[in-house]
């Protein structure tokens, strides 16, 4: 039997689902706009619709879901921080969905963790014995992986929350309750907020990157973002000394405007810049879906 899983990538804008085979290929896709609904039940309903569309396929043995927030991956539920989905904290994802799909195992994992699983399986981290994944999107997600231990979850499933490590003591207010979290300086939203703060104009992150060659304020905002990112990479290297760091998330699509500058800053601030690879993620939009499928294979003991 050619076993397959359903991988679901749940985000604040869209839900992407796919049938994933054991080589990491996506055999069929289904998706929904998350923005169109409100609240927990609405989002759960959309996830169920995506599953309905895919579960008719042959040989589907499990469902993996990558979700924002602090995730108890043993219980399949969201803890007290629900990420960028309104009302998502404390949602028992597996409990709710198992009522609709009682005959198939459902696994839930943090969204940055599943992106890391994808990159390690078939992407940029394939040959790395240890690596840190950071995802630069609406927020700043993180995952820490070693060959011996797999993904680091932490004592209370709150480890590797790299977006909420404090970059500036007593700095900007974060929606997690702390002040000065890295996410408030190093994320697509942070770039948009900083630009709006300086100009009173709200622009999409992509436009700000695009205009950074002609617009002095955009250029300043990107420069700050990149310098902060590089400094944060220096800190991560000094704490973990991973073989590599893989950077993914939507902001990577604009990397022609910042990647080389980031490496320059990294070399300037690090006491030993050699020895840690810094790589862009390969899978981007599909990483969450493929990695969620992989998480399900792994939980079933079918990982390879
Ligand atoms: Zn925070």
**pLDDT (tens digit per residue) in 240-272:** 999 999 999 989 999 999 999 999 999 999 999
pLDDT at residue number 168: 98
Helix (H) or strand (E) run with residue 137 in it: none
Q: Would you tell me how many other CB atoms lie within 10 Å of the CB of residue 121?
A: 21
Taking CA atoms, 239 is separated from 62, 97, 147, 235, 255, in Å, by: 36, 38, 17, 6, 25
Which residues neighbour ligand 1 (ion) by CB within 5 Å?
164, 174, 176, 178, 181
Separation of alpha carbons 146 and 137, rounded Å: 24
Q: What is the CA(30)–ligand 1 centre distance, in A?
A: 32
Residues 118-133, mean pLDDT to the nearest whole number: 97
Q: What is the CA(236)–ligand 1 centre distance, in A?
A: 17
Closest C-alpha to 194, from 208, 174, 182, 210: 208
136-180 tens-digit pLDDT: 988 899 999 999 999 999 998 888 999 999 999 999 999 889 999
- Lookup: tokens for 300: 């079933």
pLDDT at residue number 83: 80
* Confidence bin at 73 (pLDDT 50/70/90): very high
Which residue is associated with the tokens 């981290």?
125
**Residue 48 pLDDT more than 90?**
yes
- Lookup: tokens for 201: 């104009």
Q: What is the CA(73)–ligand 1 centre distance, in A?
A: 21
pLDDT at residue number 25: 97
Which residue is associated with the tokens 């231990």?
149
In sequence order, what are the residues at sequence separation of 6 or more whose Cβ sits closer than 8 angstroms to the Cβ of residue 10? 34, 43, 47, 65, 66, 67, 68, 85, 111, 288
* Confidence bin at 231 (pLDDT 50/70/90): very high
Q: What is the CA(268)–ligand 1 centre distance, in A?
A: 27
What value does the mean pLDDT of the chain take? 95
Q: Would you tell me how many other CB atoms lie within 10 Å of the CB of residue 256?
A: 9
**Residue 1 pLDDT more than 80?**
no
> Residue 132's beta-bridge partner residues?
144, 245
* Confidence bin at 284 (pLDDT 50/70/90): confident
Residues 26-42, mean pLDDT to the nearest whole number: 91
* Confidence bin at 57 (pLDDT 50/70/90): confident
The interaxial angle of helices 111-122 and 287-299, nearest 10 deg, is 90
Q: What is the CA(126)–ligand 1 centre distance, in A?
A: 30
Q: What is the CA(263)–ligand 1 centre distance, in A?
A: 25
Q: What is the CA(97)–ligand 1 centre distance, in A?
A: 29
> What is the value of pTM for the model shown?
0.93
Cβ proximity of 251 and 296 under 8 Å: no
The interaxial angle of helices 216-240 and 259-269, nearest 10 deg, is 50
Residues 80-86, mean pLDDT to the nearest whole number: 83
Q: What is the CA(34)–ligand 1 centre distance, in A?
A: 23
Residues 100-107, mean pLDDT to the nearest whole number: 96
3-state secondary structure of 42: helix
Alpha helices in 211-279 (DSSP H): 216-240, 259-269
């Amino acid at each position: 039997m050619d076993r397959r899983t359903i991988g679901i990538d749940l985000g604040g804008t869209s839900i992407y689902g796919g049938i994933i085979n054991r080589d990491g290929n996506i055999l069929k896709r289904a998706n929904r706009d998350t923005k169109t609904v409100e609240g927990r039940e609405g989002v759960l309903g959309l996830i169920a619709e995506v599953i309905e569309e895919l579960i008719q396929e042959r040989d589907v043995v499990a469902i993996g879901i990558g979700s924002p927030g602090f995730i108890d991956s043993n219980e399949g539920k969201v803890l007290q921080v629900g990420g960028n989905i309104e009302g998502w904290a404390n949602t028992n994802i597996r409990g709710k969905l198992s009522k609709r799909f009682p005959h198939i195992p459902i696994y839930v994992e943090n969204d940055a963790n599943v992106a890391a699983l994808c990159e390690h399986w078939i992407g940029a981290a394939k040959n790395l014995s240890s690596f840190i994944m950071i995802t630069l999107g609406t927020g700043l997600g993180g995952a820490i992986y070693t060959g011996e231990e797999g993904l680091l979850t932490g004592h209370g499933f709150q480890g590797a929350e790299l977006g909420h490590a404090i970059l500036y003591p007593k700095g900007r207010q974060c929606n997690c309750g702390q002040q000065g979290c890295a996410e408030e300086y190093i994320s697509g939203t942070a770039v948009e907020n900083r630009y709006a703060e300086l100009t009173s104009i709200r622009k999409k992150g992509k436009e700000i990157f695009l205009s950074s060659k002609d617009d002095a304020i955009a250029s300043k905002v990107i420069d700050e973002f990149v310098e902060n990112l590089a400094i944060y990479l220096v800190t991560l290297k000094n704490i973990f000394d991973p073989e590599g760091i893989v950077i993914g998330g939507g902001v990577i699509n604009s990397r022609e405007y910042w990647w080389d500058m980031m490496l320059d800053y990294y070399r300037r601030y690090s006491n030993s810049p050699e020895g840690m690879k810094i790589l862009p993620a390969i899978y981007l939009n599909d990483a969450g879906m493929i990695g969620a499928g992989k998480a399900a294979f792994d939980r079933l003991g079918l990982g390879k």
